[in-house]
């Protein structure tokens, strides 16, 4: 767990697109921050900079008080969940979840304990030996979350994780994500263009527009304003 702070963060892509124009934010330890705004407003770029998947043109990102700009992505203690799940199709669910721990050289019995624990929390124990193609969309999204929680990271990053699911599953998974985050208490940043998702999930809501922060507050504060 850790506080995440952004200080005047900017991104100019090669070619000159100014995707993020000086964003400063403070997400407290254990907080759930949702970035909401229309397509192209810079949400994903901002998230990817926190993840270390995109270089930061200027400004600073700090996790737990440590400036991460110069830390290799693999050494940042974060886990990211994407809309396309990014599961390995040739590996079983178990191996997909265990992958990150194996890469870090975690002992086998500890991997097993943690994979089983994540599978129990997400109710995917019956599917551990299946390949991703033999799962429904909702089950795949749970596996993707299993991969994130098994690492016990300091920070969760979510990039539109529910946008490929049908409306009913979206509601169900929304509730599950919130429960999970409360139970684990991991600082989370969640990107969406869906205002209902933003309202129900966030305790800190950040409305973005044109690469800048337009409003910040609790969901009630933000949506009460005229
Ligand atoms: P960086 O500044 O991070 O090096 P680049 O401009 O080199 O980014 O682009 C990285 C990748 O993103 C390239 O493969 C490029 O084709 C792709 N890309 C370029 N423009 C866009 C865009 N407007 N939206 C999404 N992806 C893009
Ligand atoms: P959002 O997540 O809010 O849809 P993005 O962060 O994906 O917004 O994009 C912000 C702006 O940066 C857009 O104008 C987009 O076209 C541009 N962009 C995104 N990725 C790249 C890239 N790799 N190279 C160049 N421009 C990009």
- Per residue in 38-92, pLDDT tens? 999 999 999 999 998 899 999 999 999 888 877 777 778 888 888 777 899 999 9
- In short, whether 14's Cβ falls inside 6 Å of ligand 1 is yes
Cβ contacts of residue 62 below 8 Å, gap of 6+? Answer: 3, 4, 5, 6, 7, 68
How far apart, in whole angstroms, are the C-alpha atoms of residue 185 and residue 77?
15
Q: How far is the CA of 144 from the centre of ligand 1 (A)?
A: 25
Find the mean pLDDT for residues 203-209. 96
Find the mean pLDDT for residues 172-195. 90
How far apart, in whole angstroms, are the C-alpha atoms of residue 106 and residue 104?
6
Atom 23 in ligand 1: which residue has the minimum CA distance?
17
**pLDDT confidence tier of residue 1, bands split at 50, 70 and 90:** low
Residue closest to 159 by CA, chosen among 63, 27, 1, 35: 35
Token pair for residue 202? 């966030």
Q: How far is the CA of 21 from the centre of ligand 1 (A)?
A: 17
Find the mean pLDDT for residues 188-195. 94
Asked whether residue 25 carries a pLDDT value surpassing 80, the answer given is yes
Q: How far is the CA of 208 from the centre of ligand 1 (A)?
A: 21
Supply the pTM of this predicted model. 0.85
Digit-coded pLDDT (tens) for 123-145: 899 999 999 999 988 899 899 98
Task: Looking at the CA of residue 11, tell me the nearest atom of ligand 1.
Answer: 2
Question: Which strands form 66-67's sheet, in the order they lie side by side?
Answer: 18-27, 4-12, 58-63, 66-67
Asked whether residue 111 carries a pLDDT value surpassing 80, the answer given is yes
Task: Looking at the CA of residue 20, tell me the nearest atom of ligand 2.
Answer: 10
Interface ipTM = 0.72
- Distances from the Cα of 4 to the Cαs of 1, 26, 164, 206, 211, in angstroms? 10, 6, 28, 14, 19
What is the predicted pLDDT for the residue at 72? 76
H-run or E-run covering 214: strand 212-217
Atom 14 in ligand 2: which residue has the minimum CA distance?
40
- In short, whether 198's Cβ falls inside 6 Å of ligand 2 is no
| Range with the largest mean pLDDT of 1-5, 49-53, 91-95, 193-197 | 91-95
- In short, whether 41's Cβ falls inside 6 Å of ligand 2 is yes
How far apart, in whole angstroms, are the C-alpha atoms of residue 122 and residue 1?
20
Q: How far is the CA of 205 from the centre of ligand 2 (A)?
A: 21
**pLDDT confidence tier of residue 225, bands split at 50, 70 and 90:** low
| Dihedral angle, C-alpha 14, 20, 23, 28, nearest 10 ° | -90
How far apart, in whole angstroms, are the C-alpha atoms of residue 82 and residue 48?
11
Q: Residue 54's CB: how many other CB atoms inside 10 A?
A: 18
Task: Tell me what percent of the residues of the chain surpass a pLDDT of 90.
Answer: 66
Q: How far is the CA of 10 from the centre of ligand 2 (A)?
A: 13
């Amino acid at each position: 767990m850790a506080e995440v702070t952004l200080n005047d963060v900017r991104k100019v892509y090669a070619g000159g697109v100014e995707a993020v124009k000086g964003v400063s934010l403070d997400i407290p330890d254990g907080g759930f921050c949702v970035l909401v705004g229309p397509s192209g407003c810079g949400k994903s770029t901002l998230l990817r900079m926190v993840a270390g998947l995109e270089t930061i043109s200027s400004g600073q990102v700090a996790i737990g008080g440590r400036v991460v700009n110069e830390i290799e992505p693999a050494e940042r203690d974060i886990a990211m969940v994407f809309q396309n799940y990014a599961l390995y199709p040739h590996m079983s669910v178990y191996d997909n979840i265990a992958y990150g721990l194996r890469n870090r050289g975690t002992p086998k019995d500890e991997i097993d304990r943690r994979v089983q624990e994540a599978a129990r929390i997400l109710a995917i124990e019956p599917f551990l030996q299946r390949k991703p193609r033999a799962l429904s969309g909702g089950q795949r999204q749970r596996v993707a979350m299993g991969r994130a929680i098994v690492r016990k990271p300091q920070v969760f990053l979510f990039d539109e994780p529910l946008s490929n699911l049908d409306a009913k599953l979206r509601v169900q998974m929304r509730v599950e994500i919130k429960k999970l985050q409360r139970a684990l208490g991991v600082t989370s940043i969640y990107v969406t263009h869906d205002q209902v998702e933003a309202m129900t999930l966030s305790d800190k809501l950040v409305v973005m527009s044109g690469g800048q922060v337009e409003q910040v507050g609790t969901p009630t504060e933000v949506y009460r304003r005229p």
